[in-house]
Amino acid sequence: MTIRIDTGKCDGCGSCVPACPFGLLEVIADKARVEEGCTLCGACEAVCPSSAISSEEIVQAAPASDEHRGVWVFAEQHGGRVKAVSYELLSKGRELADALGTELGAVCFGHNVADTDQLIACGADRVYLVDTPELADNQDELYARQLAELIERHKPEMVIAGATALGRSFFPRVAAMLKTGLTADCTGLDIDIENRLLLQTRPTFGGNVMATIVCQARRPQMATVRPRVFKKSLSNGRQGQIIKVDFERERITSRTKLLGFVEALGEKVKLEDADIIVSGGRGLGKPENFKLLEELAGALGAAVGSSRVPVDEGWIPYAHQVGQTGKTVCPKLYIACGISGAVQHLAGMQTSDVIVAINNDPSAPIFEVATYGIIGDLFQVVPVMIDKLKRE
């Protein structure tokens, strides 16, 4: 499964070689050749001056069935409160549904969930609510079976969920049940209106490459979306309907059992909700130096974050990690101290409104995303900041 190169037409000009985003093309004996790993992206096909390259579709995708209509958002809750990401997705879902001229549904599983009305205020036309003690806590298997059933009954064309621990665990199970495509961790959603296709854009290779993915022939089209990518939009006058769905406890069962939950301790301010985050990286050098950042955070009313290195080194608990395998944050102000700015870290914080970088290496990539950069020793700069803030 790869692109086809017509050796009759190929004159070995090499135009295709730099076009391949994965560097899989080479010219050997005046003919282009492709190595294994081709994703059929078509970049080489577009630049070939001799039209020698074709990316033949192996399976001509059958057009998707017309019976699937509507956009759904899985509205995750924790402890009876709808999570912020659910509202963010409803705001985007509203846009998608309007573009397609269809309805927006929200699906919420839980027990005594406090703010289901908010799901309507934030964009849903209908809320499918399964309110039962069994679904109070996040349970992959129960959630997956219940959601797959609702999807089969109501046939939405698109279903999106937050790329949270829960979303990233149970959504793949639903996709496998329905034998449909799922795109993980999207940071952009768009619509090809003519074909009613969800254009799902996501970072790969640790954020080095962006890929746009479609699910052509199967329905529904499913995606998980990173929190803090879209903005919540609220309009209190909106009308909608809450549909209570009975939970069939004899039929929908789970083999995994949740025995207990221990809340992460040691966070005075929740990272995801903080307006200001002061974050430290390798440049701190040793665990004791996080005290300096805590002092700065205290003076600013900020939360303390970390890049991966300090967490790996055991200087600070994982709950503080910002980045690809940690939390995605989007505060008003992000102050990066001694963080070089590996793409994996940038992936978790680069949408912050204002980014301040303090680092003694002027070539550190963190300066590429920084609004304000201070090239200098954080151990000189941060104490001055604390001092000035305290004196005010």
Partner 1 sequence: MNIAICLKQVPGTTAVKIDPQTNTLVRQGIESVMNPFDAYALEEGVRLREKQGGRVTAITMGPPQAEAMLRQAISLGADDAILLSDRAFAGADTLATAYTLAAAIRKLGQCDLVICGRQTIDGDTGQVGPEMAEMLDLPFVSYVSRIEEIAGGHMRAQRMIEEGHESVEMPLPAVITVTKEINTPRLPSLRGIARSKSAQVPVWTAQELGVDTGKVGLAGSATRVVKIFFPQRERKGEVLQGEAEAQVECLLGKLKSGGLI
Q: Tell me how far, at minimum, the Cβ of 390 lies from partner 1, in Å.
A: 12
Task: State which residue, 154 or 168, has the beta carbon closest to partner 1.
Answer: 168
Q: Tell me how far, at minimum, the Cβ of 106 lies from partner 1, in Å.
A: 20
- State how far Cα 136 lies from the chain centre: 24
Task: State which residue, 138 or 306, has the beta carbon closest to partner 1.
Answer: 138
Q: What is the helix (H) or strand (E) element at residue 189, kind and residue range?
A: strand 188-192
Q: Tell me how far, at minimum, the Cβ of 59 lies from partner 1, in Å.
A: 5
180: amino acid identity, one letter:
T
Report the distance separating Cα 157 and Cα 216, nearest Å.
11
Q: Tell me how far, at minimum, the Cβ of 8 lies from partner 1, in Å.
A: 23
Task: State which residue, 124 or 175, has the beta carbon closest to partner 1.
Answer: 175
Give backbone dihedrals phi and psi of 138, rounded to 5 degrees, phi first: -70, 120
Q: Tell me how far, at minimum, the Cβ of 337 lies from partner 1, in Å.
A: 12
| First-to-final CA distance of the chain | 66
Angle between helices 165-178 and 140-154 (to 10 degrees): 50
Task: State which residue, 71 or 127, has the beta carbon closest to partner 1.
Answer: 71
Name the nearest CA neighbour of 45 among 15, 23, 24, 22. 15
Task: State which residue, 37 or 287, has the beta carbon closest to partner 1.
Answer: 37
Task: State which residue, 244 or 390, has the beta carbon closest to partner 1.
Answer: 390
Task: State which residue, 211 or 245, has the beta carbon closest to partner 1.
Answer: 211
Report the distance separating Cα 136 and Cα 168, nearest Å.
18
Q: Tell me how far, at minimum, the Cβ of 23 lies from partner 1, in Å.
A: 4
Report the distance separating Cα 189 and Cα 52, nearest Å.
33
Dihedral angle, C-alpha 158, 159, 163, 169, nearest 10 °: -120
Do you know the residue count of the chain?
A: 392
Token representation of residue 20:
């391949």
Q: Tell me how far, at minimum, the Cβ of 36 lies from partner 1, in Å.
A: 5
Name the nearest CA neighbour of 120 among 157, 177, 75. 75
